[in-house]
Amino acid sequence: MIECPHCGAKNKEGEAICYRCGGLLDDIHPDTRIFAQQDDSPVIPKRRWGTARFDNETFVLLHVRGYESPLRVRFNQEELVLGRTHGDSEVDIDFSNFGGLDAGVSRRHALLRRQNDTIVLIDLSSANSTYLNGQRIVPNEPRILRDGDEMRLGRLVCRVTFEDEPIQTN
């Protein structure tokens, strides 16, 4: 017989719950084992997928679908205009060489803006819309950009990642 630690009732051997009070009987569910941390345990990276925090040492990498090398952008200003250069119009991040015209990227398609240690994506009322993770974003309404997000300008798709600047050692 097992005595209930809550009410003192005698219960049958192997019972998990006291028949009288409904309380859990001791030693049925042992405590979780705590493992000692080993010296060879993996180091947790500074940046994790889904992170929205963006600081001065961070780069934006735009991995355009169908192209091997990403665009690596140092975000050292308040705003960057995404689009394609044409005639007198200039943009900060130019998708002309990535098939931007055929993919429906507007000359001034979207904007990346630094805001409260994050980056927000804003559609600039583009002709073919801007999408974040498959959802169309409302023009002129900021949406927080996170590491690993998928951004689509018209039909041009890029995966966005953040990369910390490597520390220089002498």
Same domain flag for 85 and 132: yes
Residue, of 66 and 74, whose pLDDT is higher = 66
Check pLDDT > 70 for residue 31: no
Residue-number span of the structural domain to which 155 is assigned? 58-164
Residues 86-142 have pLDDT tens digits of 878 789 999 999 999 999 999 999 999 999 889 999 999 999 999 999 999 999 999
**Same domain as 141, residue 99:** yes
What is the C-alpha separation between 102 and 65, in angstroms, rounded? 14
* 50 within a domain of the structure (yes/no): no
Position 101, amino acid? L
Q: For residue 143, what is the domain's CATH number?
A: 2.60.200.20
Q: Quick check: helix, strand or coil at residue 97?
A: helix
The answer to whether residues 17 and 90 belong to one domain is no
Residue 79: predicted pLDDT: 95
* Domain count of the fold of the chain: 2
Which has the higher per-residue pLDDT, 23 or 113?
113
Query: Do 18 and 86 reside in the same domain of the chain?
Result: no
- Is the full-model pTM beyond 0.75? no
Based on the domain organization, do 116 and 69 belong to the same domain?
Answer: yes
Q: Does 156 lie in the same domain as 77?
A: yes
Say yes or no: 132 and 67 in one domain: yes
Show the tokens assigned to 9.
């009732």
**Looking at the predicted structure, is the pLDDT value of residue 46 above 70?**
no
- Same structural domain for residues 66 and 24? no
Residue 40 placed within a domain: no
Confirm whether 100 is domain-assigned.
yes
How far apart are the C-alpha atoms of 123 and 141, rounded to whole Å? 7
Write out the E strands in the chain.
2-3, 10-11, 58-64, 71-74, 79-83, 93-94, 108-115, 118-123, 130-132, 135-136, 143-145, 150-153, 156-164
- 125 and 64, same structural domain? yes
Is 132 inside any structural domain?
Answer: yes
Q: Is residue 140 included in any domain, yes or no?
A: yes
